[in-house]
């Protein structure tokens, strides 16, 4: 056995974070003696790595599986991503609900009091409660050898971790990605937050600048604004969420403005300096130089892959420092023995995408003899959600995408001010768009903007995956009243397009004989 202990820490080191560490990086963990040969070695214990390793180990086939993690098991999602951010979003929604309660006849207090340390303590408590699923012990219980340390390939079938050599038949790289470091003069010396550090805050920054108007930037900007910060959001584009449907992004942009966020769009940040009064951000818009003073800066402008120190050259694995490990449609690298999954190699940087990719890797590494029956990444139908308020959820193609592929497409749009439950809820600023093939009920994609759009998109995803057209969806009974009834309204709208003059004549004849 390797008797080296593995020390790591997270702040603040309260009872919740101490319990979290006991699960995802125990200080007394002793790396096991390596097996003579592993069927599968997985590097990285985020979502992709955990699903791959525990999936293989839990089959009960006697497979030798090793999982290597240099920091915290659970990866970004559990520790510094999905879980903590959604906890903050929930608290911030409670503030907005109180603020807007007057329109429902409920008089809110003159001052909504927010105790930020309690908000963050609740986040740490929830994160800790979820962590046993991703823990070192949970992997060990299904027969996985868990090693803490930094992995580095040494030959075509070996790698090292903490001075130990592990031999493998197949290996999977699942080392994920991290926040991009913005190239802004003075930012490094002034200091800034990323998703990896922002959830360690115990005091609310009175003035917060957020760099990046993508999903992460918008979600956190809105949350901190509602929790009491004065937020300024910088984005290089002319509009936030510029990869989303334009109408959907506009609704969210107006929501951020309503919340009081200052948007600085299509501007260039030229430098940052730290002074006694705060961090001064210098920027220019339309040739005019301006500056603002903030207390903290949060960088949320993209992700970059964790490819360093793996020594990929030793095993002939091709990679790009910005895009990550290069894989084919089967998630196989340029070395046939080595696969990759998750943020390290995919454009879809979502937890559920990493989970789905891990299942592909399991099939292709262990249950595709001679390469037969391999699963493909391109076969996945991938939904995603931006968890602002309202949320934006999307699956499949956009109308422009379909047209670019030479597919004639029709769009059915249902505004939520035509949905009874949305009217009752006072949540009418949103819509459902369903894109279907012209002359057919085949669904190509959908976008939903609603308070809980993420809870609604799966019905459309299921329809696309199982090739259920709008005609059949029209026959599905939806409880009344629900906001998801918008999906049935869209399906009914399609059905009405089938009511041509000839169809009406036929129906008229049928009534005469009925």
The 10s digit of each residue's pLDDT in 445-475 is 999 999 999 999 999 999 999 999 999 999 9
pLDDT digits (tens, 9 = 90+) for 192-229: 999 999 999 999 999 999 999 999 999 999 999 999 99
Domain boundaries 390-500, CATH class: alpha beta
Strand, helix or coil for residue 151: strand
Which residues carry a binding-site annotation for FAD?
Answer: 86, 343
Q: Where are the alpha helices (DSSP H) in 58-209?
A: 75-80, 82-99, 116-130, 136-141, 187-190
- How big, in percent rounded to 5, are the helix, strand and coil portions of the chain? 40, 25, 40
Q: What is the pTM of this model?
A: 0.95
Residues in the chain: 514
Domain ranges for the chain, please list them: 15-80+123-179+304-379, 187-301, 390-500
**15-80+123-179+304-379: CATH architecture:** 3-Layer(bba) Sandwich (3.50)
Tokens representing 245 are 């449907």
Domains 15-80+123-179+304-379 and 187-301 share a fold: yes
Instruction: Report the mean per-residue pLDDT for the chain.
Output: 95
pLDDT value of residue 6: 52
Q: What is the pLDDT of residues 1-31, one digit of tens each?
A: 444 455 578 999 999 999 999 999 999 999 9
CA distance 129 to 78: 11
Q: Exposed (0-12), middle (13-18) or buried (19+): which is 316, by Cβ within 10 Å?
A: middle
* Sequence ranges of the binding site for NAD(+): 212-219, 302
Rounded Cα distance, 484 and 16, in Å:
37
Quickly name the fold that domain 187-301 has: FAD/NAD(P)-binding domain (3.50.50)
Strand partners, 209: 232, 297
Give the separation between CA 459 and CA 452, rounded to whole angstroms: 13
How confident is the model over 222-235, as pLDDT tens digits? 999 999 999 999 99
């Amino acid at each position: 056995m390797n008797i080296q202990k593995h020390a790591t820490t997270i702040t603040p080191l309260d009872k919740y974070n101490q319990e979290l560490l006991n699960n995802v990086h125990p200080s007394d963990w002793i790396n096991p003696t390596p097996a003579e040969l592993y069927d599968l070695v997985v590097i990285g214990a985020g979502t992709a790595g955990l699903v791959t390793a525990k999936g293989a180990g839990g089959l009960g086939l006697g497979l030798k599986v090793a999982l290597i993690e240099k920091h915290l098991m659970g990866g970004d999602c559990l520790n510094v991503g999905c879980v903590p951010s959604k906890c903050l979003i929930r608290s911030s929604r409670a503030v907005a609900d109180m603020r807007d309660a007057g329109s429902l006849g409920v008089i809110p207090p003159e001052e909504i009091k927010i105790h930020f340390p309690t908000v963050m303590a609740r986040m740490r408590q929830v994160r800790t409660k979820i962590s046993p699923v991703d823990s070192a012990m949970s992997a060990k219980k299904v027969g996985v050898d868990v090693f803490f340390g930094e992995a580095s390939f040494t030959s075509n079938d070996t790698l090292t971790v903490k001075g130990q050599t592990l031999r493998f038949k197949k290996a999977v790289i699942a080392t994920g990605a991290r926040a991009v470091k913005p190239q802004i003069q003075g930012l490094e010396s002034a200091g800034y937050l990323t998703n990896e550090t922002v959830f360690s805050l115990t005091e609310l920054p009175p003035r917060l600048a957020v760099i990046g108007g993508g999903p992460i930037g918008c979600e956190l900007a809105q949350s901190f604004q509602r929790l009491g910060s004065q937020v300024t959001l910088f984005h290089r584009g002319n509009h936030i969420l510029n990869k989303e449907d334009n109408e959907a992004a506009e609704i969210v942009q107006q929501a951020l403005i309503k919340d009081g966020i200052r948007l600085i769009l299509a501007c260039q940040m030229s430098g940052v300096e730290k002074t006694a009064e705060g961090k001064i951000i210098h920027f220019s818009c339309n040739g005019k130089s301006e500056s603002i003073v903030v207390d903290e800066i949060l960088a949320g402008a993209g992700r970059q892959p964790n490819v360093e120190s793996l020594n990929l050259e030793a095993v002939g694995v091709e990679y790009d420092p910005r895009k990550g490990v290069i894989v084919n449609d089967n998630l196989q690298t340029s070395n046939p023995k080595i696969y990759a999954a998750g943020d390290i190699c995919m454009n879809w940087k979502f937890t559920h995408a990493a989970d789905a990719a891990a299942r592909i890797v399991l099939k292709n590494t262990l249950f595709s003899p001679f390469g037969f029956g391999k699963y493909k990444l391109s076969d996945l139908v991938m939904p995603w959600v931006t968890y602002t308020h309202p949320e934006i959820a999307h699956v499949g193609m956009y109308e422009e995408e379909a047209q670019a592929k030479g597919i004639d497409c029709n769009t059915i749009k249902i505004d939520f001010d035509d949905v009874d439950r949305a009217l009752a809820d006072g949540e009418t600023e949103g819509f459902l768009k369903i894109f279907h093939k012209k002359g057919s009920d085949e669904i190509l994609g959908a976008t939903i903007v609603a308070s809980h759009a993420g809870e609604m998109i799966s019905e459309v995803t299921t329809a696309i995956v199982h090739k259920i057209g709008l005609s059949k969806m029209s026959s599905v009974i939806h409880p009344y009243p629900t906001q998801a009834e918008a999906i049935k309204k869209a399906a009914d709208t399609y059905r009405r397009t089938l009511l041509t003059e000839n169809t009406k004549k036929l129906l008229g004849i049928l009534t005469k004989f009925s």
